[in-house]
Amino acid sequence: MPQATLARVGLDVGGTSIKAGRIDARGGIEADLAAVDIPRGIDPEGFLRLLVSVARSLEARDSIGIGIPGLIDRQFGGVRKSPNLPYLDQLPLRARVAAELGFDERSVHVENDANAAALGEQWLGAGKGAADLLLLTLGTGVGGGLILGGELYVGDGMGGEIGHVVIAPDGQPCGCGSRGCLEQYASATAARRRALERGLPVSAPGDLKLLAARARDGHAAERALLHEVGIDLGRGLGPVVCLLDLSCFVFGGGFSAALDVLEPGIRAGIRERSFGSRAETTRLLRATLGPSAGWIGAARLAHRAA
C-alpha cells in the first residue's frame, strides 16, 4: 500500500458536537471538518450512525481514533456510565464502530478526550518536540492528559487526572467524592465563582475574558484574584514537578486565554510546593490547536498504531 493512503482519521466527541479530521502520512492536516452537531435526545444507535457517517465522509480506511468524554473502560472499549451523555452509556463503541466500518477492532482506538488533546498538542501543537508534558484543560472542570516519553501515560487506565489532585485537604467538596481538588479552585467555573463571591464583574459562564482583560488593565482586585487562582494551579503542579520532574505544561480550554495573567501565580505556587529552580525553568505554554487538539490526538493514536 503506498504511503499516501496511510492517512489517519480522528474524531472528537463533545457534549453537543463531533469534531473530526484527517492527518496525512507525513503528519500534515489534510482535512479539518466543521463540527457536526449531535441532535438533542439522540439514542445510542442514532449516535453510532452519525459517528460512522462522519468517519466515512473522511474516507477512514483501516484505522481510526475516537476521543470521548468520561472515564474509558479499556476492556469494554467505551464508557460504562456517562450521566451527562446518555447516548454513550453502555455503548461498546470500539466493537460497534469496528463492525460498522469493517475494521479490525484493534484498529479502533477509543480514548478519553483530554488524553487525546494532550497527544494532539504534543504531536502537532504547543508541545511539539517535548517528550514529556502535562496538558491541563481549564474549562467546566480541569481535565488532564499526561505524555511521558512521547507516549500517553494512563497507568491502569485513569492516569493524568490533575484536576483531582488535592490542593486544600479540607476544601470544597468535589464531584469525584473527594475534597479540595484543583478543579474546585482553578477551572473556569471555579474562577467565575470566586470572582462572583468578591462581587467582581465577569462575562458569560465559562467566559472569563472580562476578568482577564481587567487584570491586564491593572485593576487590583482582578489581578489579585487571578494571582490567587494561579497560585492554586501551581500548588497542583508542584507535586507533579517533584514526582516527575516535568518541565512542560500546556494549558488548553477557554480559561487558558488568561494564562499570561495567571503565570506569575502559577510559578509562585510551583515554587512554594517544589524545590530547586524548576518554578523558573518550567515551560508554561498555551495550547495552540484549539478545538482541533482532540481529533488530532485521536488520529495520532491511529497513526501510532499503524
Contacting positions for Zn ion (CB under 5 A): 164, 174, 176, 178, 181
Closer CB to Zn ion, 181 or 301, in the complex:
181
Q: SS3 of 29, please?
A: strand
276: left (phi over 0), alpha (psi -120 to 50) or beta: left
Residue spans of beta strands (DSSP E) within 162-276: 248-252
- As separate numbers, helices (DSSP H) first and strands (DSSP E) second, the chain gives 10, 13
Closer CB to Zn ion, 90 or 178, in the complex:
178
Strand partners, 108: 64
Closer CB to Zn ion, 113 or 161, in the complex:
161
**Minimal distance in Å, beta carbon 185 to Zn ion?**
11
**Helices 220-244/259-272 angle, 10° precision:** 50
**Minimal distance in Å, beta carbon 175 to Zn ion?**
6
| 220: DSSP letter | H
Alpha-helical (H) ranges within 125-219 are 183-186, 188-197, 209-216
**Minimal distance in Å, beta carbon 164 to Zn ion?**
4
Give dist(CA 257, CA 267) in Å, integer.
17
Closer CB to Zn ion, 176 or 306, in the complex:
176
The one-letter code for the residue type at 172 is Q
Give dist(CA 154, CA 143) in Å, integer.
13
**Minimal distance in Å, beta carbon 236 to Zn ion?**
11
**Minimal distance in Å, beta carbon 71 to Zn ion?**
13
In degrees, rounded to 5, the angle at the alpha carbon of residue 118 between the alpha carbons of residues 50 and 292 is: 45
**Minimal distance in Å, beta carbon 176 to Zn ion?**
3
Closer CB to Zn ion, 181 or 302, in the complex:
181
**Minimal distance in Å, beta carbon 242 to Zn ion?**
20
224: left (phi over 0), alpha (psi -120 to 50) or beta: alpha
Give dist(CA 297, CA 11) in Å, integer.
9
Closer CB to Zn ion, 179 or 286, in the complex:
179
Closer CB to Zn ion, 46 or 173, in the complex:
173
Closer CB to Zn ion, 178 or 288, in the complex:
178
Which three cell numbers, joined as nine digits, stand for 67? 476521543
Residue spans of beta strands (DSSP E) within 39-175: 64-68, 72-73, 78-79, 108-112, 133-138, 142-148, 151-152
**Minimal distance in Å, beta carbon 190 to Zn ion?**
11
